């Protein structure tokens, strides 16, 4: 397969976290084809899915989820990707996370529920 051949001879130029935060689908895919852990954590215990979701990169989020990313993973502050995306206002990604089983009743480390974040962020849907 052409993609496998390219992956075998290509090297990622940035970390999977940076690629996810920049919405770089090809680079994220290259990391995954190289066997990088989809649940790798950064210094704030964020997964690549946290970063892609927060920035609104739906296709990158879909790719990460399809490769086993935990939609309810928590970061250092107890935030899930759903909490991050609600705060940032990227509703298509929020809908994706919910469709993939994200817990809508999740609360942050300080006990604030996702719904409260949605209201505070001015989201009406």
Q: Is 125 within a domain?
A: no
Q: Is 43 within a domain?
A: yes
Beta-bridge partner residues of 82: none
Decide: 47 and 70 in contact? Cβ < 8 Å: yes
State mean pLDDT over 40-46: 95
Q: Is 24 within a domain?
A: yes
Parent domain of 116: 2-120
CATH number at residue 82: 1.25.40.20
Kindly state the tokens that stand for 20. Answer: 């996810």
Beta-bridge partner residues of 107: 113
pLDDT digits (tens, 9 = 90+) for 73-117: 999 988 999 999 988 889 899 999 999 999 988 887 778 787 777
Q: Is 59 within a domain?
A: yes
The number of distinct structural domains making up the chain is 1
Given this model, what pLDDT does residue 4 score?
A: 57
Q: Is 22 within a domain?
A: yes
State mean pLDDT over 2-16: 66
Q: How confident is the model at residue 121 (pLDDT cuts 50, 70, 90)?
A: low
Q: Is 76 within a domain?
A: yes
């Amino acid at each position: 397969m052409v993609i496998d051949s390219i992956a075998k001879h290509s090297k990622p130029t940035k970390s999977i976290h940076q690629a996810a935060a920049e919405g770089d689908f090809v680079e994220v895919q290259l990391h995954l084809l190289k066997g990088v852990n989809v649940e790798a954590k950064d210094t704030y215990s964020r997964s690549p899915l946290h970063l892609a979701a927060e920035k609104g990169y739906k296709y990158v989020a879909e790719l990460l989820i399809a490769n086993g990313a935990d939609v309810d993973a928590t970061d250092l502050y107890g935030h899930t990707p759903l909490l991050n995306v609600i705060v940032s206002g990227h509703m298509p990604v929020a809908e994706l996370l919910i469709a993939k089983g994200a817990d809508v009743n999740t609360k942050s480390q300080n006990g604030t529920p996702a719904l409260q974040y949605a209201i505070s962020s001015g989201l009406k849907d």
